Structure 1
Amino acid sequence: MTHHPTVGEVRTHPSRTLLVLALGALAYTMAQTMIIPALPRLQQELGVSTTSVAWLITLNLLAAALATPIIGRLGDMFGKERMLLLSLGIFAAGSLVAMFAHSLPLYLVGRIIQGGGGAILPLSIGIIRDEFPREKVATGIGTISAMYGIGGGVALVISGILVDAFGVDSIFALALALSIIAAIATWRYVPESPVRVRAPIDYLGATLMAVGLAAVLLAISEGNAWGWTSGGVVGLFLAGAAVLVAFTAWELRAPAPMIDMRLMRRRAVWTVNLAGFASGVAIFGSYILIPQLVQTPSSAGYGFGATVTMSGLYLLPSALLMLVAGPLSGRMSTRSGSRRPLVLGSIFGVLSYLMLAFLHDHPWEILVGSGLLGLGLGLSLAAMANLVVDAVPQDQTGIAVSVNTIVRSIGGAIGGQIAAAILTGSANADGLPAIGGYQGAFLMSAAGTAATLAVTKLMPRGRSSAAQAHAEAAEAVA
């Protein structure tokens, strides 16, 4: 019989468990970004319009937004390791469908199923909180949070190489292989969490939330294409808002709500979610704007005419520094609380976007800006995850982190649409955006990051649980 580790063994070997969880998170985040450079190739091979192929992004976002809080809550109720295995299995199934798809409808089905694995990161963070020694929780969460940016940066490089050499199907094959390896390692080395909440499933709440979020996100995603004042977009916004109001009213009176709205109203929680939304608005600039800028032919008066693969290399400094900054943020949280790394990360983020807006004539300027961005994102994303974890009861970790993830995704969808509108509005006769469009989009990202910095002033001050554990350990030694 295969030995399944106990929580005690994980506390003895947390690095091994962290490596397994990071692999699953990396597989998911890479898949979210690898598809972007492949969209023009897919459009050409399938003979479809740009609008049609863009649904591969939109529907995946919708699926992830709906699945993440629901599965996150089920993890709190029935076990996070069990739900993590389910999420990895769903993600693998979607990758398999997309790998053998040869038509747009099948690719869409595969991407929708892939999005159903969106709870991988929140569940991994919950497992770390439940099973790691208290003094190692913040650093572990920082490492997992860093996967969000590392996967995106690495994926842009790998995607170009794979698509050029082996075709679009290869990016889904890689996602499938990584998810299978992560699932096997999770089953073998990650124990089931002993922390559970005993409550019935809130089916009505889950349904209302799913319908409301789907309507709002669809309106945001298609605003530029359909027109922001079109009947379809306005109708979706109104319908989504009405359903979400009904969802909130139900959750406030439900005997076992899926999301505890009273918990969400705590200042320590809503301020972090507001910061997550603002940072989501800004993050678009790191994964889309930089590659588009450097791929622009130099004949346009800017850009370097980089290939898809080369454009991904410009994001490597960001990915490498996030690998350092995420755990560093966790160590800072352990020593002095998580607000400080969020402040520092936001400052670095503002500086990076300002640099990219005004200094982009030479490759080294883009590389330095990318590096500053990675440092800022690594510190900020890890700090926000630790702030959420520290603000909620242990049996609410899965849903609380999931909500923060979805709020950031909504911000990202809005930021992406605003940036796209700025670029489109600045287009010249040749169809290429003017450099002023990129400057405006980067400044929008700087404003979003500055808003995150401003929100930190509203956050309650005090020691985090990790900082308290560190202080207690130091006193014990003394």
Structure 2
Amino acid sequence: METATRRAHYQLTFAVLTVGVAAYALLQSLVIPVLPTLESALGTTQADVTWVLTAYLLSASISTPVMGRLGDMHGKKRVFVIALTALAVGSLLAALATSLPVMIAARVIQGIGGGVLPLAFGIIRDEFPEEKVAGAVGIIAALTAVGAGLGIVLAGPIVTVLSYHWLFWIPLIMVVLAGVAAQILVPESPVRTAGKINWLTALLLSGWLVALLLGVSQAPTRGWGSPIVVGLLAAAAVIVVTWVAAESKSVNPLIDMTMMRIRSVWAANLVALLMGVGMYAAFGFLPQLLQTPTSAGYGFGASVTESGLMLLPLSVGMFLLGLASGRLATRLGSRNLLIAGSIVSAIGYLVVAFLHETEVDIYVATSLVGVGFGLAFSAMSNVVVAAVPAEQTGVASGMNANIRTIGGALGAALMTTVVTAGASSSGVPPESGYTNGFVMLGIAVSLGVVAAMFIPAMKRDKTTHLEESAALRHPELAMVAGGTLVGDESE
């Protein structure tokens, strides 16, 4: 009776989750096209204004898995509301900011709200009927990418008609509505994970993430061989090894290394890394390509608003495929969707690389990329949610989102290095820079096909995930009839 009552209004729960996740996704990207505007308004420099993005990236990377773990332990609805509160406070502070330090502080607070995504996945798994979980997870996963894409589209009109302050007022309104609705309407899940936060491993996690993300973000300006960048990347490597060792020995690990060794989980995380490389770099550099003056011999001389509209098919494709992802996964399997998504998005990037002379070329390319990412993001999240026990949904989804963010930072740094190589004295990159850069992104996302091949086939998803997890936790159960190791799904 309790389960029936909890799930009676899951559609209402889903509506609340979508508003909260959409606001978070918008905050990820709304500032990207208008950094020059913020530079002028906040009275800062081109180099310093990038901290508006970097601060948010670092905060979200650290907070996302921690918030997911706290939700698994203390209640996903409770921590979801806390995450929305952080987004609201950060958005209010950003909307009122008139100086760079205040804006950076606001973005750090907003980053704490990164937990909304894994927490939303956990709530869906706990509250929805089993047959509805895949579709709902797919839509929420696609919504994160759609929101990020729409942020690129909407930023120009918002700043032109209103002001940069409304880049934060609008998400603030959405977050407040979602937070109040979540507190009143979303039921708290009884699913809990025993234990407590291991703050030592949390500190180590933060350490290698900060070193890695700072290293790759500084590399394009300082050079990949500079002592600071090399030192940061070396520190990240040392700390991550220490972190893995500490988590493996911990009684209460923040990130269960046993869970991370499940084949579906590590394969989906590898896909997330590669897709992150492709998606976030494209969001940053496609508008730059479109806004390049035609006097450079390429580009369209588009305004911020016009370039955003040319990227609209990307968001539409993600959304439409996200809506259909549940049914497609049931019929074709999440692995096959990941493979298809990787291939289609790679083709889209190659179109951008070699065919960018007319607006039709761009619309075709962005449509292909949108369809590819819509398939891949939804399937990837479903794989992770299905592969782990219910009480680990939050932390597993959080780490998957985190790895995607790391991929985004790495992709942006590599793209900057490739595109700006040989730039003129005026700072305009050569056309070959964009060609080489988008070829690189196409190769990165196409490698997702290889990673996806390690995910078990759909027909064995349910039993395989459970058996694989059990085998890793209990080696004495790892042998089945015929001496085959559980989890070794040779097809």
Normalised by the shorter chain, which TM-score bucket? over 0.9
**Mapped partners of 1:360, 1:180: distance in 2:** 41
Q: Quote the residue 1:216 is aligned against.
A: 212
How far residue 226 of structure 1 moved from its aligned partner, in angstroms, is 2.3
Q: Quote the residue 2:118 is aligned against.
A: 122
What does 1:168-187 align with in structure 2 at a 5 Å threshold?
A: 168-187=164-183
Q: Quote the residue 2:106 is aligned against.
A: 110
**Mapped partners of 1:426, 1:110: distance in 2:** 36
Matched letter for residue 263 of structure 2 = R
Contact 2:39 2:45 in 1 (8 A): yes
Decide which of 378, 386, 389 is 1:390's aligned counterpart: 386
Does 2:434 correspond to 1:434? no
Does 2:248 correspond to 1:252? yes
What does 1:315-464 align with in structure 2 at a 5 Å threshold?
A: 315-463=311-459, 464=461
Contact 2:142 2:378 in 1 (8 A): yes
Decide which of 189, 194, 207 is 1:193's aligned counterpart: 189
Q: Quote the residue 2:159 is aligned against.
A: 163
Q: Quote the residue 1:22 is aligned against.
A: 18
Matched letter for residue 137 of structure 2 = I
Q: Quote the residue 1:263 is aligned against.
A: 259
Decide which of 259, 264, 275 is 1:279's aligned counterpart: 275
Contact 1:345 1:379 in 2 (8 A): yes
**Mapped partners of 2:373, 2:464: distance in 1:** 22
**Mapped partners of 1:189, 1:335: distance in 2:** 33
1:94-130 deviation line (CA, Å, top 9, x unaligned): 1111111111100110011111111111110111111
Decide which of 196, 201, 213 is 1:205's aligned counterpart: 201
Matched letter for residue 362 of structure 2 = I
**Mapped partners of 1:226, 1:356: distance in 2:** 28
How far residue 153 of structure 1 moved from its aligned partner, in angstroms, is 2.0
Gaps of 5+ in 1: 1-5, 469-478
Contact 1:10 1:17 in 2 (8 A): no
TM-score by structure 2 length? 0.91
Contact 2:137 2:381 in 1 (8 A): yes
How far residue 152 of structure 1 moved from its aligned partner, in angstroms, is 1.7
**Mapped partners of 2:361, 2:464: distance in 1:** 37
Q: Quote the residue 1:471 is aligned against.
A: none
Matched letter for residue 351 of structure 2 = M
**Mapped partners of 2:17, 2:78: distance in 1:** 13
**Mapped partners of 2:414, 2:5: distance in 1:** 48
1:312-349 deviation line (CA, Å, top 9, x unaligned): 11111111121110121222223342111111111111
Alpha-carbon spacing, 1:467–1:383, altered in 2? closer, same or farther (3 Å): farther
How far residue 9 of structure 1 moved from its aligned partner, in angstroms, is 4.2
**Mapped partners of 2:3, 2:408: distance in 1:** 36
Matched letter for residue 50 of structure 1 = Q
Contact 1:75 1:81 in 2 (8 A): yes
**Mapped partners of 1:7, 1:113: distance in 2:** 35
Identical columns (%): 42
Does 2:304 correspond to 1:308? yes
**Mapped partners of 2:464, 2:243: distance in 1:** 36
Q: Quote the residue 1:36 is aligned against.
A: 32
Indicate the SS of the match to 1:255. Answer: coil
183-192 vs 370-379, which moves further: 183-192
Contact 2:293 2:300 in 1 (8 A): yes
Matched letter for residue 20 of structure 2 = G
Decide which of 273, 289, 294 is 2:290's aligned counterpart: 294
309-318 vs 332-341, which moves further: 332-341
Matched letter for residue 130 of structure 2 = R
Matched letter for residue 21 of structure 2 = A
14-23 vs 377-386, which moves further: 14-23
Indicate the SS of the match to 1:119. Answer: helix
Q: Quote the residue 1:60 is aligned against.
A: 56
151-160 vs 447-456, which moves further: 151-160
Contact 1:139 1:334 in 2 (8 A): no
Q: Quote the residue 1:472 is aligned against.
A: none
**Mapped partners of 1:403, 1:160: distance in 2:** 32
